[in-house]
Amino acid sequence: MSAVQTALSEFASTVPDRIWLALFVLLVGLVLAYLVGVVNRRLLRRAGVPEVIEGTAFERTAREFDTSTVRILAQLSSYFIVAVAVIVALTVADVNYLEQFWSGVAAFLPRLFVAAVVLIVGVVVGDKAELLVAERLRGIKLPELGVLPTLVNYSVVYVAALIALGQVGVQTLALIVLLAAYAFAVVLFAALATKDLVASAAAGVFLLLRQPYGIGDEVRVAGERGVVQEVDLFVTHIETDGEEHVLPNHAVFREGIVLIRE
């Protein structure tokens, strides 16, 4: 019995302290990774993430592989901590060979982690945005609008991929130029298309706040005389005998209002 004990203590004393410390660091890292994974999963669940991303393509694919987006994210954070722990342990243990390689990996690892997370979040958000837009457009039965949700999805995924690639240090200048051109086109198109609507809404806010005329007043606006039937954010309804004029509010504002009193 005592022979075994002395052999053990001799073995323990031959192993350098550094190795023990490294093993300890590794152990702490593993425990920490597990805890962070569990806490992450709970936090994401508590934040209602599974309900929000329900039905997105990514979540469905994850389900097919018998996992879920939340679990993948939680596992990713665990793996990251394990990897860091391994590197720290190796450094503490002073493993000399391949030092160059490990320092490179240590610098690269957090960026890879962030890139992976950004990519997953981007894909999920893109899917969700596609679903939301498709739902909003479902009332309008216009087949041409079917491309819009897909476009929204790809735009979000494209930006996420761009960020991820930037994180891992790939040259993305050409892609950014492409994105800028695309964003410029979208902004220009939106501005041209909604110019009158925005102007009307701005005038409508004034009309609703100050109420220069109200429902029931007789007015002449933009050449049309009649009784005001309705004022909303974008248009004013003015009715004369059997005719209802729907005037955009920016026209009301530009041409002025004549209140008719008898």
Partner 1 sequence: MASLTDHLSDLVADVDAALLFSPTSSFYERFANDGSEVVVVAPDNDVDAETFVELPLPFDNVKDRIRFGIEGAMDADLVSEGDEVACVTSVFEGGSDAIVRVTVDESVHTGIFDLFANSRAEPSVIRDVFEVAIELGQKGQKGKPVGALFVVGDAGKVMNKSRPLSYNPFEKSHVHVGDPIVNVMLKEFSRLDGAFVVSDSGKIVSAYRYLEPAAEGVDIPKGLGARHMSGAAITRDTNSTAIVLSESDGLVRAFKAGELVLEIDPEEY
Which residues are at the interface with partner 1 (CB under 8 A)? 208, 211, 214-216, 218, 227-230, 232, 237, 239
Which class for 115: exposed (0-12), middle (13-18), buried (19 or more C-beta within 10 A)? Answer: buried
> Considering only CA atoms, which of 153, 162, 160 is closest in space to residue 126?
153
Structure token pair of residue 9: 């203590």
Q: Which residue lies nearer to partner 1 by CB, 196 or 218?
A: 218
* Closer Cβ to partner 1, 94 or 232, answer by number: 232
Which of 60, 53, 113 minimizes the C-alpha distance to 83? 113
Q: What own/partner pairs with CB < 8 Å and gap ≥ 24 does 156-163 have?
A: 156/122, 156/125, 156/126, 156/129, 157/122, 157/123, 157/126, 159/122, 160/118, 160/119, 160/121, 160/122, 160/123, 160/125, 160/126, 161/119, 161/122, 163/115, 163/118, 163/122
* CB 227 to partner 1: min, Å: 4
51 vs 241 by CB, closer to partner 1: 241
Q: What angle do CA 85, 22, 82 make, to 5 degrees?
A: 15
Query: Is 45 or 237 the residue whose CB approaches partner 1 more closely?
Result: 237
How far apart are CB 207 and partner 1 at their closest, in Å?
Answer: 11
Shortest Å, Cβ 244 to partner 1: 10
CB 51 to partner 1: min, Å: 22
Least distance (Å) between residue 114 CB and partner 1: 45
> Is 34 or 206 the residue whose CB approaches partner 1 more closely?
206
Do the strands 235-240 and 243-248 form a parallel or antiparallel pair, or are they unpaired? Answer: antiparallel
| Smallest distance from partner 1 to CB 29, Å | 53
Long-range contacts made by residues 171-174, C-beta under 8 angstroms, separation at least 24? Answer: none
Residue with smaller CB distance to partner 1, 94 or 230: 230
